[in-house]
Amino acid sequence: MRLSLPALCGLALATLTACGTTPPQTQTVEIAFTLRAGTAPVYCGGPFGPLGTPAVTATLRDARLYVQDIALIDTTGTAVPVTLPANDWQQPGVALIDLETGGPDCAGTAATNPVIRGTLPAGTYSGLRFTVGVPETLNHTSVEVTPAPLDVVAMNWSWQAGRKFMKVEVTPTGGVTKPDGAKTATWFLHLGSTDCTGNPAQGGTVTCQRPNRLPVTLPAFDPARQAVALDLTALFSGTDLTRDQGGAVGCMSGPTDPDCPAVFGTLGLSLTNGQPVTPGQPPVFRAVDVR
Ligand code: CA
């Protein structure tokens, strides 16, 4: 039997290209995140650790972060941007990672989002790059009218200051002692832009002296079998979680807060100008095998 050329092309999948059909030009990618204390997973509802200096056990209260400028790194070292389709947890340009699983110890709901979903040109990729933050053009918007995931009130500071880029809250065993000797339960890390001027509610342009966006590069990352770990042991390695030394309880990015130098140090951010000190791979984030 002799088959026509179209029939042959229909049968011989391996020769589709020769028949004029081009291979897929885009591919999908899912980039997973996971919360760890060292190597141990961290969840709401039970003690973890110990962590900090001195080391104490703690329970989790919140762990959420916005991520922008997501790219996979190809075999030539080029960062190829990942396009984010809109869903409840992301819109073009920004995604919200929510690792807080709800329950009596935690601040939010049981809903979580550990995964960024996107597309990029088909290719061979070996690394990952992203920035903890919200793009400047999206940051100073109304939480009431901006689509998800920028509508989360718990991640909002104000129109002028924008969003909390990263919110990690832990409740150490025995509580937190404030400078006046009073006790409070939870140590707060809120990372976001500070010293912002301009009134976006009236159409003004906002300028922030300290952007506090954190670029992260994982040179070797395989999204098919690995996740990005946020390691709370590394994050709080130089922090005494049982004490607040002044300013906001914990560190809310205040440049004069005596609790901020240690945690900004582990993040690799300058508390003076809000820029990364050594752009690259802060030890707070690393690739871990999950499959
Ligand atoms: Ca403080």
Where exactly are the structural domains of the chain?
A: 23-289
| Ligand 1 centroid to residue 106 C-alpha, Å | 21
First to last CA, the chain: 48
Cα distance between residue 216 and residue 281, in whole Å: 5
| Ligand 1 centroid to residue 248 C-alpha, Å | 4
Structural contact between residues 100 and 70, judged by C-beta atoms closer than 8 angstroms:
no
pLDDT at 231: 98
| Residue 149 β-bridge partners | none
| Ligand 1 centroid to residue 159 C-alpha, Å | 23
Cα distance between residue 286 and residue 226, in whole Å: 10
Cα distance between residue 195 and residue 211, in whole Å: 9
Q: Which residues of 2-37 are buried (b: 16+ CB within 10 A; e: fewer)?
A: eeeeeeebeeeeeeeeeeeeeeeeeeebebbbbbbb
Structural contact between residues 140 and 94, judged by C-beta atoms closer than 8 angstroms:
no
Residue 4 CA neighbour count, 13 Å, CB half: 2
Instruction: Give one DSSP letter per residue of 34-62, joined into a string.
Output: EEEETTEE--TTS-EEEETTTTEEEEEEE
Cα distance between residue 259 and residue 103, in whole Å: 28
Cα distance between residue 55 and residue 241, in whole Å: 8
| Ligand 1 centroid to residue 179 C-alpha, Å | 9
pLDDT at 19: 55
pLDDT at 209: 96
Beta strand ranges found along 173-213 (DSSP E): 176-177, 183-184, 187-191, 194-197, 207-210
**Alpha helices, DSSP H, located in 142-256:** 232-235
| Ligand 1 centroid to residue 60 C-alpha, Å | 18
| Ligand 1 centroid to residue 258 C-alpha, Å | 6
| Ligand 1 centroid to residue 42 C-alpha, Å | 24
pLDDT at 202: 87
| Ligand 1 centroid to residue 94 C-alpha, Å | 29
Cα distance between residue 107 and residue 62, in whole Å: 6
| Ligand 1 centroid to residue 225 C-alpha, Å | 38
| Ligand 1 centroid to residue 228 C-alpha, Å | 28
Q: Distances in Å between the alpha carbon of 146 and those of 50, 82, 83, 143, 188?
A: 39, 22, 19, 6, 26
What are residue 212's phi and psi, to 5 degrees? Answer: 60, 30
| Ligand 1 centroid to residue 48 C-alpha, Å | 22
| Ligand 1 centroid to residue 189 C-alpha, Å | 9
pTM listed for this prediction: 0.91
What tens-digit pLDDT sequence spans the chain (291 residues)?
A: 344 444 444 444 444 444 567 767 999 999 999 999 999 999 999 899 999 999 999 999 999 999 999 999 999 999 999 999 999 999 999 999 999 999 889 998 899 999 999 999 999 999 999 999 999 999 999 999 999 999 999 999 988 899 999 999 999 999 999 999 999 999 999 999 999 999 988 888 999 999 999 999 999 999 999 999 999 999 999 999 999 999 999 999 999 999 999 999 999 999 999 999 987 778 899 999 998
